[in-house]
Amino acid sequence: MFCDYSVPLQGLQSAEGRLFSAAREIASPPGGRIAGEIVDGPTPDFAESLTLSGGVDFSAALIAVDQAKLAAEANLRVISMQRELECSMLDLFA
């Protein structure tokens, strides 16, 4: 009688996806190109790419990062509690 870890693992994968999405949003310079991406044509000036006028909502992205962190921590706690429950049940029946 073992616990099913599929739900918290799916939660961890979902949190990871949200974290990568938020990181991509934060790393995106104005114009939507990712740093290091090879593009044809002129690229924005470095100082211009650091301005906040590029349409990146940093507060929303940072909130998404924090939510992903909390979701990952919660799912890890579920896995930890399931593991403790399994060990307790094995001790009980041993």
| Per-residue pLDDT at 70 | 96
- Calpha distance 26→64 (Å, rounded): 11
pLDDT in tens, 38-48: 555 555 555 45
List the chain domain ranges: 6-31+44-93
| Per-residue pLDDT at 90 | 81
Write down the pTM of the prediction: 0.65
- Calpha distance 54→31 (Å, rounded): 7
- How many residues does this entry show for the chain? 94
Q: Which residue reads 């990952």 in tokens? A: 72
CB 86 within 8 Å of CB 3 = yes
